[in-house]
Structure 1
Amino acid sequence: MVGQGEALRLATELARVRQRGIALVDRVGYHQSPVVTPILDQLLVRGELGISRSRAAAIAELLDLRLLMYGEESAAQASFVRSLFFDRDGRGPGALGAAGLLNLARKGRGITPDAFHHLQRQELIDFARFLLRCDAELRSVADSDRFFGS
């Protein structure tokens, strides 16, 4: 069972990554430091995605792979979450930037900014729960393999 508190914290991390843009998560500049994502970073390590690439590339790969899986469960939700992180080519914010992607997703919904903010938050929480559930299932399989020597 996925804890509500952990899902909320991960959803907050996802919102920060979305706000900065995946490619810029490690950007350091005037009043800007890398995006702090301890739960997401754990998922990367356990998924062996952060081993030989940048954190941005690993985050993009994890989100892309899990959004494909999430789409099998809920295509509309996965499509919406994908639109917050990736351009149509699937390469992150692209030329639109993080704010441009957000505006495009908001216009596509035709709802007020407040309603969109609420929708975005709820969808990120639901996706965070899915990510944590996938992680728990993968750890369970890995533990079984170690225990039974498969």
Structure 2
Amino acid sequence: MSLATEDIKELAKELGRIRQRGVRRVNVASHNQRPTEAPVLDSIADLYASLKDLDGVDRPQRFRELLWDALKKYATKNGMTDSAAFVRDLFFLPDAPDAPVVPGELLSDLVKRLGYSHKRAGFDHRRRQEFAEFSWFLVEFVCSEVDAQNERIKAERGKEEAEKERAQTKEEKKRVVATTKVPAEPRKGAKKKRPGLTPEQRKRQLAREKFLRQQLRRDEQRRKLRVRNSIIAAVLALWLGVSIALYLSGTFKQ
């Protein structure tokens, strides 16, 4: 979006007219009123609405969304906090952009609060200056939103292209494997070959085999231990029997 200096000046004047009518009443038409004309602000608000998916909302809400979001951003700009509050308080209540307001009351309250009650010319000069500065920022704000949206779209397209390329590569590999590997026809009566084990299945199978080998070794050790104990018990029993017999026969008598 490109606007000339004359367009920025016209935008500042349009903001003044919107301020006098009130954002909620820009479309009011009666016997002595017509909808407020603001072609430059309309074009900016329409563009911003398309970025924020607000195409279905009416003109007052488009103005409100644009001005409120831009003023919040304007307040974060270095040295512009007071300027943002000045412009905001001529359009909205501080924390309620949707609340109904009376433009004349907002103006009177701000004049009194800033001490311009006896210096109305000074207030009007500042208002024109603040509106001119905010008009430049308003254009910059929408342009930055457009750039951010373009970057998001570019990133999403890049991601989609990368995913599409990966999918195509995967399909191409499948086609190459399918065309280069021709399975042999099974012989009649031959048993169907079972599919190979997956790495996880192979890992579990090896673990089971290791456990069975360990179990067999433990069983063999237990069997040998029982045989040895049996031999020792038999020898002890024989020795004990011989000792008893000798004792009874008097061999061990003193």
Tell whether the structures are fold-level matches, with TM greater than 0.5. yes
Alpha-carbon RMSD across the aligned residues, in angstroms, is: 2.2
Contact 2:88-2:94 within 8 A present in 1 as well? no
Deviation at 1:146, TM superposition (A): 6.4
| 1:101 and 2:106 are equivalent in the alignment | yes
C-alpha distance after superposition, 1:86-141 (max 9, x if no partner) = 0244236735x011101111111112111111111110111100001122333344
- For 1:39 and 1:118, locate their aligned partners in 2 and report how far apart those are by CA, in whole Å: 22
* 8 Å CA contact retained: 1:83, 1:101: yes
- The higher radius of gyration belongs to 2
- Inter-partner Cα distance in structure 1 for 2:111 and 2:104: 10
Deviation at 1:69, TM superposition (A): 0.3
Residue 69 of structure 1 corresponds to 73
Report how many aligned residue pairs link the two structures.
149
User: Against the structure 1 CA distance between its residues 77 and 59, is the aligned structure 2 distance closer, same or farther, given a 3 Å change threshold?
Assistant: same
What secondary structure, in the 3-state scheme, does the structure 2 residue paired with 1:32 have?
coil
The structure whose RCO (Cα within 8 Å, separation 6+) is larger is 1
TM-score, with length taken from structure 1: 0.87
- Structure 2 residue identity aligned to 1:15: G
Gap runs ≥5 in structure 2: 159-254
Identity %: 28
Q: How does 1:1-150 map to 2 (within 5 A)?
A: 3-47=4-48, 48=50, 51-73=55-77, 74-91=80-97, 94-95=100-101, 97-111=102-116, 112-142=119-149, 149=157
Q: Would the alpha carbon gap of residues 92 and 143 (structure 1) be closer, same or farther in structure 2, given more than 3 Å must change?
A: closer
Inter-partner Cα distance in structure 1 for 2:71 and 2:125: 20
TM-score of the pair, normalised by structure 2: 0.53
Q: Which amino acid aligns with 1:100?
A: E
